[in-house]
């Protein structure tokens, strides 16, 4: 199978295992994932079907603004520490204050790179956080609840800036 899909897969090797992971999902695959996720299929099932990780499926759905249509969302059950270590890298959660600052700067049409520099975060963290906040707001709106810290005039995502991905 690896020989057939050499252009789609990359072999990663360490001392004990060989793992195959998909390099990129095509636009067609992303659309299939979106349709199947909206139909209620789990991220884990989609990951197995498309030969990629669950986090890849989740990120794809987040980018496309896709949510389960059945309203079953997996919320955090227990509070997570603000700082955790993942694969030897310290990962910081966003605080409500950072979210408010991020949204205010996005409302001023600052680039994600400029926002990231002001918050001490990478621009990709800013990009995904904006998408996550937009998803949270959409879920609150669907439930008829008001956003907890946003004013009615505060946008959830800035306009796309050229050269800033």
Do 51 and 88 fall within a single domain?
no
Q: Dig out the tokens for 50 from the structure.
A: 């498309």
Domain assignment present for residue 17? The answer is no
Domain assignment present for residue 8? The answer is no
* The predicted structure's pLDDT at residue 83: 79
Do 96 and 130 fall within a single domain?
yes
| pLDDT block averages, 10 residues each, the chain of length 165 | 42 48 76 89 90 88 77 56 79 88 95 95 92 86 67 44 41
Domain assignment present for residue 120? The answer is yes
* The predicted structure's pLDDT at residue 58: 86
Domain count for the chain, please give it. 2
Q: Domain of residue 135: give its range.
A: 83-143
Domain assignment present for residue 7? The answer is no
Domain assignment present for residue 109? The answer is yes
pTM of the model: 0.58
Domain assignment present for residue 102? The answer is yes
Domain assignment present for residue 70? The answer is no
């Amino acid at each position: 199978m690896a020989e057939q899909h050499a252009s789609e897969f990359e072999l990663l090797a360490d001392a004990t295992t060989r793992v195959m992971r998909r390099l990129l999902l095509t636009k067609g695959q992303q659309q299939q994932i979106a349709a199947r996720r909206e139909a209620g299929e789990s991220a884990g099932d989609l990951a197995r079907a498309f030969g990629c990780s669950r986090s890849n499926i989740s990120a794809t759905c987040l980018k496309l603004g896709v949510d389960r249509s059945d309203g079953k969302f997996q919320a955090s059950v227990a509070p997570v520490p603000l700082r955790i270590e993942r694969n030897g890298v310290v990962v910081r959660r966003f605080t409500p204050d950072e979210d408010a600052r991020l949204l205010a700067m996005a409302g001023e049409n600052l680039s994600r790179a400029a926002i990231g520099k002001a918050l001490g975060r990478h621009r990709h963290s800013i990009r995904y956080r904006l998408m996550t906040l937009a998803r949270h707001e959409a879920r609150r709106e669907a439930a008829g609840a008001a956003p907890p810290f946003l004013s009615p005039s505060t946008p959830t995502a800035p306009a796309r800036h050229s050269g800033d991905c």
